[in-house]
């Protein structure tokens, strides 16, 4: 038999299938092969009877690496889909499907010795064969009689190694090896869960979804409307039919609640896929899913590749979250991968959010997704009251500083009542915009209507969309003053100020600096939940689905920050963030308050976010997108060139740009825009970065994309890497 093999070589740019011969292998197996006289690992992606390669040159597969096919037939199909859609190399795709440490044989199943009573006799019979004074041996026998087979390590601990050894020698006890699964749940505190009686809105959502188990659904439920319970009930129904489920959350460390609730409800039927697990735990959880020992996978983005068969449901919580779009190699959109898997398995796909992405809500309007709405919080608890503070006005009236008078007052009131507050700093992306602190003016590109980015190294303002440059402003074109802000406030600075203002109050901080270790997220959140601090200061990390009943005040210190980020998604992201953080306030009996500090208080995004008016926002934003032909009305493509040799990058880009220009000339109606430029992040990890940005008409994607990809494939310089991103979330 001839096998087509993808050889696993990381540095190489080779994306080719090599043929080998062998007998008795399965498609999807990992194998050892001879490649250029070196022993390498590879994946069998197909088998066939004949090959173009001369038979005498055909090498024999050396050996299998596992005793099972690590890649399933469905995954191979998915791999082909991802290669086609995202212009990915086979090896990068295949590596997504297995735990990283399977490669290089760095992880194995763990087996341990266990012992059991050899003969099926009565306890008295066995004991009568032992000396009356062999107390430990007698105890051990009684223990095994009662408990059955037990791990040797436990027996040796309880009865001493001598007792077990003696019993084995006498043949009374026998020993064998069993596979033990390493468990990542040791620190997870679960309790007996009382199943909630669904409220009418929840019951309606569940009924709608279960009425067509191959449907596509968008659950738009405000923060605190009880979406989790809807997910759990659906999973329960699907699992009862013997099918498996995938539950995705934006970031597992930030959403410990979901894992806890799933474990409480479904116990060992849940497996966690998460990069924070130990190597052995990750491998064993993957095996449990692969072998059907667990039917429910939970995890962040990459859990969409869970090795489950017979999938009945894929649920994506907080579907608007940008983490679902991978922005490094391999780049892919989790929602599209989910759609593919749902289709292959005849499974249902349910996406939920309080602030659906514009693209998803638009799809629902078009009837591609069925919209289910839960517009009220559980028990009709009111949404928080949002107060907007004009920070330019604060400055004008002589109140400089990070905290407005209103926010200080609300903080004081909250602390006096013994409640808790969360203060949120908004910091997305790496670019910083230029803003007048007197009037709130923000420097924007004349052609693109996106904010300009300050480039300190040459003191210029640049548009990250079209590449246009502007001189740094000496004074504000609106009010004539020279009072610009371009930096950011730091979380530590906020904590220090709080300690000055409220010396007796405990403050916790959660950001990238304080969450370096594996468990730190959970620890900070748990401490806050236990009431060890009254104020939690953080970045977007604290915006996600937490449920702290004592929080009645949320302060957004810099509501503008992401609004002026230089891409077309900035407004949508800001609306999401503000709605999400506001949703942390007043989740229990007391109505919550939100103080939103901003330099652009009249901006429609902030006004509508303050009212939590998603539909109003959607209407406005979608018409702007349509008018300016941004997604979902077009498709944005970024082709990224990177390499350590700057000139080679430029040459490669220039050559391909010429080919693309020809393509554009032949299809001028399909191209809305195309340009080449340096990336805003000019050099990363020693590599220079350049990009071509293309805006394509939505209808021509299927026609044009393969042609663009084939131009990309026609690469001349091996030291330049080329990556394509579709509708990137981040253009840095
Ligand atoms: P969402 O994810 O929509 O923001 P959650 O699922 O976190 O909302 O639910 C909000 C709160 O309401 C939680 O404290 C949850 O325990 C509670 N809850 C949900 N469903 C019910 C129900 N049917 N009866 C009582 N309480 C509920
Ligand atoms: Zn521009």
Q: Is any ligand 1 atom within 6 A of the Cβ of residue 229?
A: yes
Q: Of 379, 410, 444, which closes a domain?
A: 379
Same domain, 373 and 385: no
pLDDT at 11: 62
Please check whether residues 260 and 231 belong to one and the same domain: yes
**CATH at residue 28:** 3.40.1440.60
Classify residue 715: in a domain, yes or no. Answer: yes
CATH code of the domain covering residue 159: 1.10.10
Q: Is the residue at 556 inside a domain?
A: yes
Burial category of 67 from C-beta neighbours within 10 Å (exposed 0-12, middle 13-18, buried 19 and up) = exposed
CA of residue 467 to ligand 2 center, whole Å: 6
The pLDDT of 509-538, averaged and rounded, is 81
Grade residue 12 by pLDDT with cuts at 50, 70 and 90: low
Q: Tell me the residues surrounding ligand 2 (ion) with CB < 5 Å.
A: 445, 447-448, 463, 465-466, 468
Structural domain contains residue 441: no
Cβ atoms within 10 Å of 40's Cβ, excluding its own: 16
Rounded mean pLDDT of 255-264? 86
In this predicted structure, the answer to whether residue 430 has a pLDDT above a threshold of 50 is no
Ligand nearest to the CA of 545: 1
Residues 500 and 486: their CA atoms lie apart, in Å, by: 25
Q: DSSP 3-state helix, strand, coil percentages of the chain (rounded to 5)? A: 35, 25, 40
Average pLDDT, the chain: 89
Ligand nearest to the CA of 376: 1
Question: Domain range for residue 218?
Answer: 200-379
pLDDT of residue 463: 73
Residues 59 and 78 occupy one common structural domain: yes
Whether pLDDT at 565 is above 90: no
Strand 435-436 to 453-455 pairing: unpaired
Are 401 and 414 within one domain?
yes
* DSSP-assigned states of every residue in 315-342: EEETTT-GGGB--SSSP-BHHHHHHHHH
**Domains held by the chain: number:** 5
The answer to whether the CB of 547 is under 6 A from ligand 1 is: yes
Q: Compute the average pLDDT of residues 516-541.
A: 83
Q: Note whether residue 15 is domain-resident.
A: yes
Q: Is 353 in the pocket of ligand 1 (CB under 6 A)?
A: no
Residue 173, both tokens: 């006890």
pLDDT greater than 90 at residue 490? no
Q: Which residue has the higher pLDDT, 296 or 258?
A: 296
What ligand has the least distance to the C-alpha of 589? 1
Closest CA to 556 of 539, 544, 570, 571: 539
Residue 205 lies in a domain: yes
Considering 66, 84, 105, which residue would you say is the last residue of a domain? 105
Give first-to-last CA distance, the chain, whole Å. 48
Q: What is the pLDDT confidence band of residue 161, given thresholds at 50, 70 and 90?
A: confident
Given a contact cutoff of 8 angstroms between Cβ atoms, the answer to whether 318 and 352 are in contact is yes
Q: Are 599 and 717 found together in one domain? A: no
Domain check: are 415 and 506 in the same one? yes
Spatial separation of the C-alpha atoms in residues 241 and 233, rounded to whole Å? 13
| Among 204, 206, 229, residue to substitute to test ligand 1 (most atoms within 8 Å of Cβ) | 229
Mean pLDDT confidence for 543-563: 79
Q: Tell me how far apart the 2 most distant CA atoms of the chain are, in Å.
A: 102
What is residue 558's predicted lDDT score, i.e. its pLDDT? Answer: 81
Taken in order 268, 272, 276, 279, the sign of the CA dihedral is positive
For 139-198, the DSSP string reads HHHHHHHHH-SEEHHHHHHHH-HHHHHHHHHTTSEEEEEEEE---TTTT----PPPPPPP
Atom of ligand 1 nearest to the CA of 549: 14
Identify whether 632 is preceded by a cis peptide bond (ω within 30 of 0). yes
Q: What is the pLDDT of residue 432?
A: 65
In this structure, are 570 and 617 located in the same domain? Answer: yes
**Ligand 1 atom at minimum distance from 223 CA:** 4
Phi-psi region of 628 (alpha: psi -120 to 50; beta: other; left: phi over 0): alpha
Q: How far is the CA of 206 from the centre of ligand 1 (A)?
A: 14
Report which secondary-structure segment, H or E, holds 403: none
Q: What is the pLDDT averaged over residues 134-149? A: 93
Q: Show which of 601, 625, 649 is a domain's final residue.
A: 625
Percent of the chain with pLDDT over 70: 94
In this structure, are 393 and 300 located in the same domain? no
Nearest to 512 by CA among 504, 525, 521, 522: 521
Give 495 Cα–ligand 2 centroid separation in angstroms: 37
Q: Which run of H or of E encompasses 3?
A: strand 2-7
pLDDT range class, residue 223, cuts 50, 70, 90? confident
Whole-angstrom Cα distance, residue 420 to residue 28?
53
d(CA 473, CA 578): 30
- Greater confidence (628 vs 297) lies with 297
Statement to judge: residues 234 and 348 lie in one domain: yes
Ramachandran quadrant class, 238 (left: phi over 0; alpha: psi -120 to 50; beta: rest): alpha
Is 234 contained in some domain? Answer: yes
Residue nearest to atom 24 of ligand 1 (CA): 196
- Any residues with CB less than 8 A from the CB of 351 and at least 6 apart, and which? 217, 218, 219, 315, 316, 319, 335, 360, 369
User: How far is the C-alpha of 127 from the C-alpha of 136, rounded, in Å?
Assistant: 12
Cross-strand partners of 32: 41, 63
Q: Verify whether ligand 1 is closer than 6 Å to residue 261 (CB atom).
A: no
607: CATH: 3.40.50.300
557 occurs within a structural domain: yes
The pLDDT score that the predictor gives to residue 263 is 93
Rounded average pLDDT over 523-532: 88
Least confident piece of the model among 284-298, 348-362, 667-681: 667-681
Per DSSP, what are the bridge partners of residue 610?
none
Residues 121 and 217 grouped into a single domain? no
Same structural domain for residues 96 and 162?
no
Q: Are residue 541 and residue 613 in the same domain, yes or no?
A: yes
> Confidence band (pLDDT; 50, 70, 90) for 553?
very high
CA distances from 225 to 202, 206, 376, 378, 712 (A): 8, 14, 6, 5, 47
Q: What is the pLDDT of residue 81?
A: 97
Q: What's the sign of the alpha-carbon dihedral 36, 42, 45, 49?
A: positive
Rounded Cα gap, residues 236 and 392, in angstroms:
52
Supply angle C-alpha 547, 548, 554, rounded to 5.
100
- The yes-or-no verdict on residue 398 having pLDDT over 90 is no
Residue 332: Cβ within 10 Å count: 25
DSSP 444: B
Nearest-CA residue for atom 6 of ligand 1: 226
Mean pLDDT of 670-694: 87
Q: Confidence class of residue 488 from pLDDT cuts 50, 70 and 90?
A: low
Q: Domain with 645 in it: what CATH number?
A: 3.30.70.600
Residue 141 pLDDT greater than 60, yes or no:
yes
In a domain, 461, yes or no: no
pLDDT tens sequence across 593-618: 999 998 889 999 999 999 889 999 99
């Amino acid at each position: 038999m001839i096998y087509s093999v993808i050889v696993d070589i990381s540095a190489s740019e080779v994306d080719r299938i090599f043929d080998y011969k062998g007998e008795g292998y399965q498609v999807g197996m990992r194998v050892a092969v001879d490649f250029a006289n070196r022993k390498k690992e590879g994946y069998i992606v197909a088998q066939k009877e004949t090959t173009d390669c001369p038979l005498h040159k055909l090498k024999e597969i050396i050996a299998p690496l596992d005793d099972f096919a690590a890649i399933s037939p469905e995954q191979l199909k998915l791999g082909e889909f991802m290669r086609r859609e995202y212009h990915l190399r086979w090896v990068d795709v295949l590596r997504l499907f297995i735990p990283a440490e399977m490669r290089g044989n760095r992880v194995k199943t763990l087996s341990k010795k266990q012992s059991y009573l050899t003969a099926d006799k009565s306890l008295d019979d066995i004991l009568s064969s032992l000396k009356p004074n062999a107390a430990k041996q007698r105890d051990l026998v009684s223990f095994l009689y009662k408990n059955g087979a037990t791990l040797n390590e436990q027996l040796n601990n309880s009865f001493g190694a001598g007792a077990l050894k003696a019993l084995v020698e006498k043949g009374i006890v026998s020993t064998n090896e069993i596979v033990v699964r390493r468990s990542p749940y040791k620190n997870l505190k679960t309790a007996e869960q009382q199943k909630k009686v669904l409220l009418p809105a929840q019951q309606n959502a569940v009924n709608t979804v279960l009425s067509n188990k191959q449907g596509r659904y968008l659950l738009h439920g405000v923060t605190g409307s009880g979406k989790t319970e809807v997910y759990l009930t659906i999973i329960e129904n699907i699992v009862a039919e013997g099918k498996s489920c995938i539950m995705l959350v934006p970031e597992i460390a930030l959403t410990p609640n979901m894992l806890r609730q799933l474990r409480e409800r479904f116990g060992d039927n849940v497996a966690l896929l998460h990069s924070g697990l130990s190597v052995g735990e990750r491998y064993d959880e993957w095996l449990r899913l692969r072998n059907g020992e667990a039917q429910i996978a939970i995890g962040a983005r990459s859990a969409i590749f869970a090795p489950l068969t017979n999938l009945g449901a894929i649920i994506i919580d907080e579907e608007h979250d940008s983490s679902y779009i991978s922005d490094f190699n391999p780049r892919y959109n989790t929602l599209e991968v989910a759609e593919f898997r749902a289709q292959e398995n005849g499974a249902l796909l349910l996406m939920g959010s309080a602030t659906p992405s514009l693209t998803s809500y638009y799809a629902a309007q078009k009837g591609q997704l069925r919209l289910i709405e839960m517009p009220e919080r559980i028990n009709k608890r009111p949404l928080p009251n949002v107060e907007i503070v004009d920070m330019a006005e604060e400055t004008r009236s002589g109140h400089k500083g990070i905290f407005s008078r209103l926010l200080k007052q609300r903080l004081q009131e909250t602390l006096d009542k013994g409640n808790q507050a969360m203060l949120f700093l908004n910091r997305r992306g790496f670019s910083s915009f230029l803003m007048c602190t007197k009037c709130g003016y923000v420097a924007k590109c004349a052609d693109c209507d996106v904010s300009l980015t300050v480039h300190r190294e040459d003191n210029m303002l640049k548009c990250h969309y079209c590449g246009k440059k502007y001189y740094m402003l000496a004074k504000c074109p609106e009010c004539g003053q020279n009072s610009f802000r371009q930096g950011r406030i730091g979380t530590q600075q906020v904590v220090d100020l709080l300690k000055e203002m409220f010396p007796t109050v405990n403050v916790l901080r959660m950001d990238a600096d304080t969450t370096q270790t594996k468990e730190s997220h959970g620890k900070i959140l748990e401490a806050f939940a236990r009431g060890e601090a009254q104020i939690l200061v953080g970045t977007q990390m604290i915006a996600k689905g937490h449920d702290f009943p004592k929080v009645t005040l949320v302060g957004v210190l810099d509501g503008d920050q992401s609004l002026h980020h230089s891409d077309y998604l900035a407004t949508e992201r800001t609306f999401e963030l503000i709605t999400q953080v506001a949703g942390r306030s007043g989740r229990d009996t007391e109505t919550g308050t939100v103080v939103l500090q901003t330099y652009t208080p009249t901006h429609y995004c902030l006004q509508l976010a303050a009212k939590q008016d998603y539909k109003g926002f959607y209407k406005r934003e979608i018409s702007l997108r349509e008018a300016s032909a941004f997604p979902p009305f077009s498709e944005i493509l970024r082709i990224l060139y990177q390499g350590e040799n700057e000139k080679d990058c430029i040459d490669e880009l220039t050559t391909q740009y010429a080919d693309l220009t020809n393509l554009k000339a032949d299809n001028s109606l399909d191209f809305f825009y195309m340009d080449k430029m340096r990336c805003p992040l000019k050099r990363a990890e020693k590599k220079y970065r350049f990009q071509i940005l293309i805006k394509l008409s939505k209808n021509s994607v299927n026609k044009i994309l393969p042609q663009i990809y084939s131009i990309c494939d026609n690469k001349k310089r091996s030291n330049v890497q080329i990556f394509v991103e579709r509708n990137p979330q981040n253009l840095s």
